[in-house]
Amino acid sequence: MSFVFVDKIIDLIMSVIGWIKRTTIATIAISIEVAIMLWLMFYFFAETLILTLTPTFMRTQKSLKGKVVVLTGGAGGVGQELALRLARADAKVVLWDINEEAMVKVKDNLEKEGHQAYCYTVDVTDRKNVYKNADLVKQEVGVVDILINNAGIVCGNTFLDIPDYMIEKTFQVNILSNYWTVKAFLPDMLRKGKGHIVTRHQTRHHRFPRKFTHRIEDARSSRD
């Protein structure tokens, strides 16, 4: 009888020791994680603060000389301006746009200034088209260093007046396409251990009504 009692005491002591061990290990692990997180928070906060307070002309600028930059929506208003600035910074500008005619004009303008430019007619919503053209760019121009997702569409209607197909189209062009382009170029950047992806977030390209005064009939009329 007394042996059974001693066994139970030993079991209890062992389980308490086990619990202390597990708790200590968990506490140490959590403390390390918290310490790392705090350090990173401090580091990035300090870096952001210093960069924000440093005037642009005093910052070291990254050289774009010879960098291959894919710019989607390169034929549009913002695209043209970006293309020009990138080209003037000696980047190899690769324009992607669905509007071939306008894109060729942008390319011609860049070439008139003596810059090197390439253009590919790509519908960024078509992922097979994106992957095919990404391979072509790699073969014909080189591995991409910078991807700028700029292609987009704007629907100027108020929210309830936007036809459903336009909502779908907006998501395909402004959101989903970014997944295809990033999937096409990110692996090379990871392999090289460097690269940049710039994506303009364009989810809210419609106007919300000031007051939700739409009648149910109005809302229905905008469906499909």
Ligand X SMILES: NC(=O)c1ccc[n+]([C@@H]2O[C@H](COP(=O)([O-])OP(=O)(O)OC[C@H]3O[C@@H](n4cnc5c(N)ncnc54)[C@H](O)[C@@H]3O)[C@@H](O)[C@H]2O)c1
Q: Which residues bind ligand X (CB under 6 A)?
A: 72-73, 75-79, 97-99, 122-125, 150-154, 173, 200, 202, 205
Nearer to ligand X, 123 or 188 (CB): 123
Find the shortest distance in angstroms from Cβ 72 to ligand X. Answer: 6
Nearer to ligand X, 64 or 133 (CB): 133
Nearer to ligand X, 200 or 214 (CB): 200
Place of tokens 């695209």: 79
- C-beta separation of 131 from 180 below 8 A: yes
What SS3 state is found at 120? strand
Find the shortest distance in angstroms from Cβ 204 to ligand X. Answer: 10
Nearer to ligand X, 138 or 169 (CB): 169
Nearer to ligand X, 171 or 214 (CB): 171
Find the shortest distance in angstroms from Cβ 187 to ligand X. Answer: 22
Find the shortest distance in angstroms from Cβ 124 to ligand X. Answer: 4
Sign, CA dihedral 100-105-109-114, equals: positive
Find the shortest distance in angstroms from Cβ 129 to ligand X. Answer: 9
CA-to-CA distance for 34 and 71, rounded, in angstroms?
A: 40
CA angle (99 as vertex; 94, 105 as ends), nearest 5: 65
Nearer to ligand X, 105 or 214 (CB): 105
CA-to-CA distance for 156 and 178, rounded, in angstroms?
A: 22
Torsion angle (degrees, nearest 10) of CA 212, 217, 220, 221: -110
User: Cα–Cα distances in Å, from 158 out to 49, 154, 162, 166, 200?
Assistant: 39, 12, 7, 12, 21
Find the shortest distance in angstroms from Cβ 122 to ligand X. Answer: 6
Find the shortest distance in angstroms from Cβ 139 to ligand X. Answer: 21
CA-to-CA distance for 178 and 23, rounded, in angstroms?
A: 44
Residue 50 in tokens: 């210093």
Nearer to ligand X, 123 or 161 (CB): 123
Count Cβ atoms below 10 Å from residue 85 Cβ, excluding itself: 12
